[in-house]
Amino acid sequence: MANICIFDAYGTLFDVMSAARMLANEKAYDKFSKYSEKVSNTWRIKQLEYTWLRNIMDDYLDFWQITKDGLDFALEESQIQNTQLRNRLLDLYWNLSAYSEARDVLIALKSNNIRTGILSNGSRDMLDSAVKSANLNDNLDVVLSIDKIKIYKPDPKVYQMVLDHFNCTKGDVLFISSNGWDISGASKFGFKTLWVNRNFNPQDRLNFKPWKIVNNLSAIPSIVKELNE
């Protein structure tokens, strides 16, 4: 039985590519449209890489600074030197779009007495802003940030935060993420995992696999209901 659903934030509930898309649609930055996809993809890749590398090197830096560093790399790669554009992208990152089905899914889970939460590498300020902007506050029991322990996923200490907060067992938790590496980390920790594979990517060549795979969040309430019957 799983009576707690824990979601990753970036890429799972919130669309990390939406900042660049929103900027490309603003008239003042319409020339950015031809770079937006490349910049967005590199930004995300470097953001993730820097968390892993800083874990390995035991050189913690908060996620907001890592996010800025990833963007600076991405802009330099595309030979974009525009401080105003950079600052606008960073402003938009505080208000990323939630995926269209996210709020309804959380409401459905709460209506079935499932406790819900976020477990994220994001800084607490970033997460609070994203949750508020997406109007998800009332549908989450907790937002857990690694700020508290200053180490990034997929370190097992991060997943332990869920057990410590809810005073529960691993079997009580369904962990949901769009990131294959995060799913592997949570699976190794002992959580039942659900991979939201929106882009139909191949599975990572890692030993720990997802329990179930979906391509969006919509099926989660019915999956949880079936799991608990």
Distance of CA 61 to CAs 34, 123, 149, Å? 31, 10, 12
Residues 9 and 59 in one domain: no
Q: Could you list the active site residues?
A: 8
Closest to 183 measured CA to CA, from 191, 216, 151, 50: 191
C-alpha–C-alpha distance, residues 205 and 203, integer Å:
6
The two most distant CA atoms of the chain are separated, in Å, by 56
pLDDT in the model for residue 122: 97
Q: Find how far residue 107's CA is from the centre of its chain.
A: 19
Contact 159, 193 (CB under 8 A): no
pLDDT tens digit string along 201-218? Answer: 999 999 999 999 999 999
Domain final residue pick, 72, 93, 114: 93
pLDDT tens digit string along 13-36? Answer: 999 999 999 999 999 998 999 999
pLDDT tens digit string along 162-213? Answer: 999 999 999 999 999 999 999 999 999 999 999 999 999 999 999 999 999 9
C-alpha–C-alpha distance, residues 153 and 113, integer Å:
28
pLDDT in the model for residue 229: 78
Contact 140, 131 (CB under 8 A): yes
Residues 88 and 41 in one domain: yes
Residues 133 and 68 in one domain: no
pLDDT in the model for residue 150: 97
Residues 209 and 145 in one domain: yes
Domain that holds residue 210: 4-14+97-228
pLDDT in the model for residue 206: 93
Residues 42 and 103 in one domain: no
pLDDT at 1 over 80: no
Q: Find how far residue 186's CA is from the centre of its chain.
A: 14
Residue type, 16: V
Residues 49 and 104 in one domain: no
Q: CB burial class (10 A; 0-12, 13-18, 19+) of residue 36? A: buried
Q: CB burial class (10 A; 0-12, 13-18, 19+) of residue 50? A: buried
Domain final residue pick, 58, 93, 128: 93
List the helix and strand counts (H, then E) for the chain: 9, 6
Mean pLDDT of the region 79-101: 96
C-alpha–C-alpha distance, residues 22 and 69, integer Å:
20
Residues 134 and 146 in one domain: yes
pLDDT at 80 over 90: yes
Strand 4-7 with 173-177, pairing = parallel
Q: What is the CATH number of the domain that holds 154?
A: 3.40.50.1000
Residue type, 135: N
C-alpha–C-alpha distance, residues 9 and 13, integer Å:
5
pLDDT in the model for residue 45: 97
pLDDT tens digit string along 102-139? Answer: 999 999 999 999 999 999 999 999 999 999 999 999 99
Q: What is the CATH number of the domain that holds 41?
A: 1.10.150.240
What are 138's two structure tokens? Answer: 């009332």
Domain final residue pick, 93, 121, 150: 93
**Residue 68 banded pLDDT, cuts 50, 70, 90:** very high
Residues 51 and 89 in one domain: yes
pLDDT in the model for residue 48: 97
pLDDT in the model for residue 209: 95
Residues 43 and 122 in one domain: no
pLDDT in the model for residue 19: 95
pLDDT tens digit string along 39-66? Answer: 999 999 999 999 999 999 999 999 999 9
Residues 9 and 23 in one domain: no
pLDDT in the model for residue 2: 85
Residues 198 and 115 in one domain: yes
Instruction: Enumerate residues 6+ apart whose C-beta is below 8 A from 37.
Output: 17, 20
Residues 123 and 177 in one domain: yes
Contact 96, 14 (CB under 8 A): yes
Mean pLDDT of the region 76-87: 97
**Domain tally, the chain:** 2
